[in-house]
Structure 1
Amino acid sequence: MPAPAKSLSLRRAFGNRVRELRLAQDITQEAFADKCGFARTYMSRIETGRANPSLDAIKVLSVALGISVASLFEGL
């Protein structure tokens, strides 16, 4: 069963937020994926909204960015 459209737009918005924060720190996607312990392809899928990261993955992203989990969701 396909995911509701709202879920897809939230994933895209979250991915855009991760990309925005990563670029603000001048980190390449590959370097950021390494810092998180993720494959670069998975990082790409997160940033394009094609992946649905787990709570554990979201925590890893926030730690790697040096921000709180709540900050990752600001403005979504």
Structure 2
Amino acid sequence: MDSFSRSIVLLGVGIIALTGLLVFREVIGLFGLLVVGFAFVGIGVVLSFVDVVGADLPDRANCPNCGSRNDADRDACHHCGEPL
């Protein structure tokens, strides 16, 4: 997709999103939008303090011979046996 086509698609997505926001505003009103905004801010703050899933996984390294993922502290690849 060239840049002009991508721009047209993004413009369409923006128009759809704006229309959805206007309909949402009509349904719940301005106070509802304020409540939803504060809810998202609260959720974001809580999630910023939560540990990231998988953050405590060991460091990994790719084997230069076969590309297999290995623990960084290994001396040889678990797949092909080549030194890391």
Instruction: Compute the TM-score of the two structures, normalised by the length of structure 2.
Output: 0.30
Structure richer in strand, relative to its length: 2
Greater RCO (CA < 8 Å, at least 6 residues apart) = 1
Structure richer in helix, relative to its length: 1
